[in-house]
Amino acid sequence: MNAHVRSKVTTHVLDSGIGLPAAGVPVRLEHDDLCNWVMIASAETDADGRATALGPTELPAGRYRLSFDTSVYFHEQEIRAFYPEVQIVFELTDPAAHYHVPLLLSPFAYSTYRGS
């Protein structure tokens, strides 16, 4: 994907335990197709903790899931964490809108919100 083209769904992972972006987190974007999760794209967060080239620039309305392999990130940090994976399921209701789904991460907690 062209580095200047932003995908319909983007994410930003921040390590709230150390107050820095979480680089190198593998992330998958999946679509719920009649109760079967189908992978659309995968990426790894960059040095700023962002994944902006995660799938196509257009997606139909529906249910989607971002899956973060947090075990890879915490292993690199030499930290034993409670959550080896974080999954965020969300509804894409407006095909014309951009969906930014940040993840705030620590070894024993996480939170998310709809960003812009």
**Residues annotated within a binding site for substrate:** 12, 50, 113
99, 115 Cβ separation under 8 angstroms: no
Phi and psi at residue 75, in whole multiples of 5°?
-60, -45
Known binding-site residue numbers: 12, 50, 113
Q: Cα(10)–Cα(12) distance, rounded to whole angstroms?
A: 7
Q: Contact, 85 vs 71, CB < 8 A?
A: yes
Asked if residue 58 lies in contact with residue 95, where contact means CB atoms within 8 angstroms, the answer is yes
Element (H, E) at 85: none
